[in-house]
């Protein structure tokens, strides 16, 4: 089976986020980048499905030139080939634009299953996978914690709120958005990294962007909703003061 994994490159979780001078985005000129974590779980799930059922894992990312880094990383972890939908504007695109770019990049690929993370760590729309399913005209399900393929039927375990789950069957092809923690991630081996150098990253120019559906008018640091008392001093001083405050002010003991 052909399994496509849509991946995104995002700024690292540790990055100290600063708003740019125009207040339209963050300052990411010198950011360090990583594979969006839920997408890493989607990739791992695809690799496991290939191990079980055979076939091919194709990774695709829509973004500026820098996203080849995460495509190369995915190849090193075991993906067979990669597609880069290349466009500078995709770095800050809305979900419809991103989904249109991914659909264009997939072109006439014959696809059995598309996996992607349930949302990205940057804009966090939680839309792209589902919109892509509609564009491809296929079934979908979201927040998936288990994937079973039986012939042309897919059976997936969907996470509900508050510790509940539900199994859902649907026909292939389909798009699934994968929840973090569905599996244990593997990391690239030296052999994988060497092998990745010989694998193909096919560049496809981004299609003309559809009219934007949403426009960011301002980006800013959140206003505090609570008066937080920051306790300083040495670790011993801070700990003693916190315990005192919890006993005498908050009265939680």
Question: Cβ closer to other proteins: 82 or 182?
Answer: 182
Among 72, 77, 84, 140, binds other proteins (CB under 8 A): 140
User: Residue 84: which of 96, 72, 95 has the closest Cα?
Assistant: 72
Q: How far is the CB of 45 from other proteins (least distance, A)?
A: 14
Query: Is 13 a binder of other proteins (CB under 8 A)?
Result: yes
Query: Is 219 a binder of other proteins (CB under 8 A)?
Result: yes
The rounded distance, in Å, linking the Cα atoms of 42 and 160 is 18
Query: Is 19 a binder of other proteins (CB under 8 A)?
Result: yes
Among 48, 135, 186, 199, binds other proteins (CB under 8 A): 135
The rounded distance, in Å, linking the Cα atoms of 182 and 4 is 17
Binding segment for other proteins (CB under 8 A), chosen from 52-60, 73-81, 117-125, 189-197, is 117-125
Query: Is 228 a binder of other proteins (CB under 8 A)?
Result: yes
Among 68, 97, 116, 127, binds other proteins (CB under 8 A): 127
The rounded distance, in Å, linking the Cα atoms of 123 and 25 is 10
Residues 30-69 contacting other proteins, CB under 8 A? none
Dihedral sign of CA atoms 238, 244, 247, 250 in order: negative
Query: Is 150 a binder of other proteins (CB under 8 A)?
Result: no
The string over 103-140, giving b where at least 16 C-beta atoms fall within 10 Å of a residue's C-beta and e elsewhere, is bbbbeeeebbbbbbbbbbbbbebbbbbbbbbebbebeb
Q: How far is the CB of 59 from other proteins (least distance, A)?
A: 22
Q: Tell me which residue has tokens 């039986």.
A: 150
Query: Is 214 a binder of other proteins (CB under 8 A)?
Result: yes
Helix (H/G/I), strand (E/B), else coil: 203: strand
């Amino acid at each position: 089976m052909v399994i496509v994994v849509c991946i995104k490159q995002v700024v690292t979780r540790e990055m100290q986020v600063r708003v740019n001078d125009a207040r339209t985005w963050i300052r990411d000129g010198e950011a360090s980048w990583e594979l969006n974590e839920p997408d890493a779980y989607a990739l791992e799930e695809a690799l496991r499905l290939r191990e079980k059922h055979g076939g091919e894992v194709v990774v695709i990312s829509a973004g500026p030139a820098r996203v080849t880094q995460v495509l190369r990383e995915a190849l090193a972890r075991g993906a067979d080939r990669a597609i880069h939908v290349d466009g500078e504007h995709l770095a800050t695109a809305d979900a419809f634009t991103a989904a249109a770019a991914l659909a264009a990049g997939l072109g006439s690929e014959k696809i059995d299953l598309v996996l992607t993370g349930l949302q990205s760590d940057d804009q966090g729309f939680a839309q792209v996978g589902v919109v892509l399913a509609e564009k491809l005209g296929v079934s979908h399900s979201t927040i998936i914690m288990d994937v079973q393929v039986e012939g042309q039927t897919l059976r997936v375990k969907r996470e509900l709120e508050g510790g509940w789950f539900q199994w859902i069957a649907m026909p292939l092809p389909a798009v699934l958005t994968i929840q973090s923690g569905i599996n244990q991630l593997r990391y690239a081996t030296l052999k994988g990294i060497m092998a990745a150098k010989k694998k193909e990253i096919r560049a496809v120019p981004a299609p003309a962007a559809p009219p934007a559906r949403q426009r960011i008018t301002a980006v800013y640091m959140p206003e505090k909703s609570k008066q937080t008392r920051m306790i300083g001093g040495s670790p011993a001083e801070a700990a003693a003061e916190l315990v005192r405050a919890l006993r005498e002010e908050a009265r939680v003991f």
